[in-house]
Structure 1
Amino acid sequence: MENGIRFVALVFPGITQLDLTGPLQVFAQLPGAVVDVAWHRIEPIATDGGFSILPSTTFDTAPQADVLLVPGGQGAFELMADEAALEFVRRQGSRARYVTSVCTGAFVLGAAGLLRGRRATTHWASHSMLSMLGAIPVQARVVQDGDLITGGGITSGIDFGLVVAAELFGADAAKRVQLSMEYDPRPPFDAGSPTAPDVDRGMVDALPAIMRERREPLVRAAAARLA
């Protein structure tokens, strides 16, 4: 892959910062990578972690992405009603080599009409709602459907980033980034997915219903606008 590949990521209030910063840490180490973070204005954007991120560009001034990234967080669901943001995603996505998301950023892609008939994934607790926006939900940590690459919940963004890196520069380059990041996860508990042996079964049962109550009206409204 030639040098100078450009990554453009969306940022918005209520973003889950690791959805953004995990893959961007991968991308920033690739040869000739240029990373931009876009919002309506250049101003501090509050994350759901209690600190802010400063965009580097705006929707109007952002360069065309080779790879468009939409991260997730509760703010992604409010973003589905932001027509300027959705138009930015459509415009960038129409010319990007890859259109991508992490976690619930997939719902923004769906609200922009970019998931119709496409295989995609998202965080397990909101996974069942993806089909409302025309997607074909797939339970996997990373799902690729042609030029569409989606990652599951939060920490899967690093796995996702390495998959994108391998697509662009080959597996050896991705492995070098993985080594430089010392990405060798060995969590102290086997409780990180709904099917893990040490998982909190009560949370597995309860959280999807909580997310549906909080998010489904916004997803249905976005689906109605698409229709």
Structure 2
Amino acid sequence: MLKQARVEFILRKLQHLYPTQLIPLDHKDPYTLLIAVLLSAQCTDARVNTVTPALFTLADNPAEMATKTVEAIRSIIRPCGLSPQKSKAIKNLSILLMEKYNGEVPEDMAALEELPGVGHKTASVVMSQAFGHPTFPVDTHIHRLAQRWGLTSGKNVVQTEKDLKRLFPIEHWNALHLQIIYYGREYCSARGCDGRVCEICTSCYPKRKHPKKVNKP
């Protein structure tokens, strides 16, 4: 199957399986989404969702969070891992939002990436899911699947994001980010598929005889 045929098949299959996409992180506004995405680094969404109710009871807006101690924040988010860095980032970005943006999460990629603890992927998710701007956030899971499906040979998520944006129409980017994550969890996980098991892998590469080696980011 040629690359364009793979792209069209993947689009059809993912739209059929996941016609609606709900972000798996519980939140109520751009700020709580920003914090939840920040916490999800090297942590499952399910675990984040068990932590955020207590965190957002402590403070669910920049004004209140800025007044809390790093220790108080860390004591709640510890199960998410990397709690020393994440707790400092949550407090410091909340202070910066109050000082520079009147307590509002900026609707601007560059401004988001300047916030403490907020990288390109986190900023992309917020721009996409909170504000509706077309982005294509790529994490290690999407990076892995894109390689299995022959959509990229990139050695890192930056190159994979560029390749996916080039292949897929812009109007599909926001949905695809979530659809690929859902599909990976259900059918093409790191342990569940090696490039020769799930329907997309076997349809794109029916003659593949050996596990697909993935370039780790």
Question: Which structure has the greater CA radius of gyration?
Answer: 2
TM over 0.5: no
TM-score normalised by length of structure 2: 0.28
TM-score normalised by length of structure 1: 0.28
Q: Per residue, is there more helix in 1 or in 2?
A: 2
Q: Per residue, is there more strand in 1 or in 2?
A: 1
